[in-house]
Amino acid sequence: AQSVTQPDIHITVSEGASLELRCNYSYGATPYLFWYVQSPGQGLQLLLKYFSGDTLVQGIKGFEAEFKRSQSSFNLRKPSVHWSDAAEYFCAVVGGSYIPTFGRGTSLIVHP
């Protein structure tokens, strides 16, 4: 069975500061990995995904994520956070069963 852990429930950063959101997964092989963002009252939007190739993945809105097999991690990064990035961020994994499993989410708070 696959699982996802997002260890940080809340992250607070100042506008313009860098950001890293952590995601660890458990799966016997390399799964498909996703990061989604959810703004209040809205559905989830895909930021980026990884399933093979270059381990550094570029996404929308200036986000990137790096797959590290040795650490079973897929952390999301952004060099300079904007106030509009305040939202809930979800990491998701899809394994051989093709059933998506989401983490509990990390709430990003951006201070001016």
Partner 1 sequence: EAGVAQSPRYKIIEKRQSVAFWCNPISGHATLYWYQQILGQGPKLLIQFQNNGVVDDSQLPKDRFSAERLKGVDSTLKIQPAKLEDSAVYLCASSLVPSGGSDTQYFGPGTRLTVL
Residues lying near partner 1 in the complex (CB under 8 A): 4, 6, 32, 36, 41-46, 49, 51, 90, 92, 94-105
Q: Which amino acid is at 62?
A: G
Q: Which is nearer to partner 1, 91 or 110 (CB)?
A: 91
DSSP class of residue 86?
Answer: -
CA distances from 99 to 9, 30, 37, 93, 94 (A): 24, 14, 19, 8, 6
Cβ 85 to partner 1 shortest distance, Å: 18
Q: Which is nearer to partner 1, 77 or 102 (CB)?
A: 102
For residue 60, give the 3-state DSSP assignment. Answer: helix
Q: Which is nearer to partner 1, 17 or 109 (CB)?
A: 109
